[in-house]
Structures are given as C-alpha cells and as structure tokens.
Amino acid sequence: MSYDFDQLIDRRQNNSYKWDIKENELPMWVADMDFATAPAITEALKSRLEENAFGYNTVPEEFFASFINWWQDYHQVSMQKSGLMFCTGVVPAISSIVRKVTEVNDNVVILTPVYNIFFNSILNNQRQVLASPMSYHEGNYQIDFEDLEKKLALKETTLFIFCNPHNPIGKVWSQADLEKIGALCVKHQVLLLSDEIHCDLTHEGYQYRSFIDISSAISQQLIVCLAPTKAFNLAGLQTSAIYVENPALFEKVNRGINTDEVAEPNTFAIQAAIAAFTNGRPWLEALNSYLSQNRKILTDFFKKRFPEIRLIESQATYLAWLDCSALTKDTADFCQFLRETTGLILSEGDIFGGNGQQFVRWNYACPVSRLQDGLGRFEKGTREFLL
C-alpha cells in the first residue's frame, strides 16, 4: 500500500495548536506532523465511532499486549504486563511522577539542551531544575559524566529525567552511555525516568536501546514513558503508557497518576494506540523514509545556501537542530525576525536550555512542497536579517 505524504491538509480548520496562527504564517516549530494519520488508525477510530456510545472506559488487555508486542517485535525489548499502566500522555505522566516520587525543593537533573517541557514539569511543582549541560564540540554533543555524577551525588537530587532518543539534538544514546547513566543512578540512589517517546523515529541504520534492557540493578529504580503519539502523530488523542518493573515503585507511580486523574483513557486513546502498534508498521516505515528525503533536502539546502549554519547530524526524530552561532548569539531575535518578515515559525533554542540560545529547532515533518515553502522563507528572511 502506498501513502500520500504529499497531501496538504488544511489544519487551520480543526483547532490545531500548531496552526492557530495568522493567515500568512507557516508553523515549523512544535513537534506535531502535518501528515494524514495511518489509515489503520483512521479505520479503527471510525469503527469505534460507529458504536455510538462514549461513556467511561477501562483499559483492555489488548492495549497492554499491543505495547508488549510492538516493543518485542520492533525493538527486541521484553516487557511484563505487570509493569505497564495507561496514562493520558507523557507530560502528564512526568509531572505526576515528579510530584509523587520527589519532595518540594528536591533537585531534578536533566541534560541540557532538552525538551523544554521537562523544565515546566519540575518548576511547576516547586522542585529545582539541576541542569547538567552536555559538552558540545564540532557539532557533536556528549554527556559530561563528571558533571553529571557531581549533580547526581548531591543529597538533594532524587530524580533524573532522561530523553532517549534526545529532543532536540536527535541523538540515539549508545548502550555504553545508558550503562554509565544507569550505574551512576544506582550508585547515588537517584530514580531514573526515561522518556522514550521518539523511539520509533530513528533514522536508517540506527536502533534505539531502551533503558528497560540495560541492567537488573537500574530496573529497580527505573520508570519508562512510552507512547505511539510522536511516531503516529496522535498527541491530540492523549495516550501513553508508563513501565515500572519494581512492584513498590509501580504502586507509587500508579497511585500518583490516579490521584492526579491522568490514569483513565478517553474512548479513542485506546483504539488508536492498539491500531498503531498492531497494524501501523507499514505506514511508519513509509513515513520514516519520507522524512529521510525531507532531511536530505534540508541538509542540501544548508550546505549550499548557508554553509555557515551547521545542521547537527541526527540519528532520530523529525526535528533539525541548527547551530546558528555564525549568524547570531541569540536566536530569539532571529526567530522573531523570521516570523515578522516571512511568517516562518521556528523554535528558538533558548527554551531548551544549555547552549540552545545559539540554535534553532526546525520541524520538517510536512509535505515536501510545504518544506520548500519554509526554506524559501528562511532564505529570504535570513538574507534580510544579515543586511
């Protein structure tokens, strides 16, 4: 079956957060794709809609089985059903976990630059963000393990929130990195939350390793967030799972998400996840191949037109992380200028912390004609910015 990723969908009509903008603007910021979803998912939702009854829901066995089978078949990772629980999203899960497993004023460690909402989940709950900035050299980010250990060793540090594959730098962490992180968290008795939401968007030749598989020691203090929502673009359906192998920790997290009322699914959350993980693979493979073409267009564009801007080589996600330090020391002004002069909306890197201030994040998950439009606007706006 072939899928039409070139189709332009008018999302201004459907309350899209991404497209709630002015008529002339073009959004390439938030991690939300502009493609029609997988036909297998649409079919499942249609058939659920036809049942015509939308009361409270339970979470059926098939929901958990679809996660277990997908991780086994696609990622060669084994999960036990007893460790899985439903949650209405990864961010609701993270915020609830922060509230339940840490105390007010505790330190929560993150590796910066990183997904900006991690900051909110920590700060909104009156915990302290303890950033361990990654080292950056010649376009390559590495974990500064010395700094990380210092921060994990502090007695006020109780949780480490980790992103794998990493948003925004697009890195798939190696087995060696995961083992080192796991060992440090065990040594300093820090709980580890691994957000693996981008794991199905790895580029050709890269396979992500889940923390679930790393060691039996870390599995006792590990919480993993999993979801079909990034790869299948289902964020509006609010569906995810949390995996916790340690029964005592499972109970704690489960109590937390129930107290926070984020443990019950809407009707479509269940059907969409099951359809994605049961019948969505051919669509996902076609999507990843379309995204790789877009990435090539973007890479060629920067090489030819703006060689001074470095596109960080990524291994996963549909987010390009652009080092604009040759243009500006603060991309907030640059992004605002691009928006005002051309309508193109990109994410300014500062929101991700670390050295993000000199970077821009570009979401290229859209039909190629729309990407070309974005590149044209970028070229025009940047030339004017540099005048």
Ligand X SMILES: Cc1ncc(COP(=O)(O)O)c(C=O)c1O
Residues in contact with ligand X by CB under 6 A are: 31, 89-91, 115, 163, 167, 195, 197, 227, 229, 235, 240
SS3 of 6, please? Answer: coil
Question: Min. distance of Cβ 94 from ligand X in angstroms?
Answer: 7
Measure the CA–CA gap between 179 and 177, rounded to whole angstroms: 5
Question: Min. distance of Cβ 32 from ligand X in angstroms?
Answer: 8
Closer to ligand X at the Cβ: 227 or 274? Answer: 227
Closer to ligand X at the Cβ: 201 or 298? Answer: 201
* Phi, psi of 70, rounded to the nearest 5 degrees: -65, -50
Closer to ligand X at the Cβ: 115 or 359? Answer: 115
Question: Min. distance of Cβ 317 from ligand X in angstroms?
Answer: 8
Mark residue 355 as left, alpha or beta (left: phi above 0; alpha: psi -120 to 50; beta: remaining): alpha
Closer to ligand X at the Cβ: 164 or 382? Answer: 164
Closer to ligand X at the Cβ: 132 or 240? Answer: 240
Mark residue 139 as left, alpha or beta (left: phi above 0; alpha: psi -120 to 50; beta: remaining): left
Question: Min. distance of Cβ 89 from ligand X in angstroms?
Answer: 3
Question: Min. distance of Cβ 236 from ligand X in angstroms?
Answer: 9
Beta strands in 168-217 (DSSP E): 191-195
H or E stretch at 360: strand 359-363
Closer to ligand X at the Cβ: 79 or 161? Answer: 161
Closer to ligand X at the Cβ: 328 or 347? Answer: 347
Question: Min. distance of Cβ 168 from ligand X in angstroms?
Answer: 8
Measure the CA–CA gap between 362 and 31, rounded to whole angstroms: 9
Question: Min. distance of Cβ 166 from ligand X in angstroms?
Answer: 8
- Return the exposure string of 171-193: e unless at least 16 CB atoms fall within 10 Å of the residue's CB, then b: bbbeeebbebbbebbbebebbbb
Closer to ligand X at the Cβ: 306 or 359? Answer: 359
What are the structure tokens assigned to 155, written together?
A: 């007695």
Question: Min. distance of Cβ 92 from ligand X in angstroms?
Answer: 6
Closer to ligand X at the Cβ: 86 or 290? Answer: 86
CA dihedral of 286, 292, 293, 294, whole degrees rounded to 10 = 110
What are the structure tokens assigned to 12, written together?
A: 């201004």
Question: Min. distance of Cβ 155 from ligand X in angstroms?
Answer: 28
What are the structure tokens assigned to 340, written together?
A: 């005002």
Measure the CA–CA gap between 281 and 231, rounded to whole angstroms: 10
Q: Are strands 191-195 and 140-142 parallel, antiparallel or unpaired?
A: unpaired
Measure the CA–CA gap between 347 and 335, rounded to whole angstroms: 7
Q: Which residues contact 19 (CB under 8 A, 6 or more apart)?
A: 11, 12, 27
SS3 of 109, please? Answer: strand
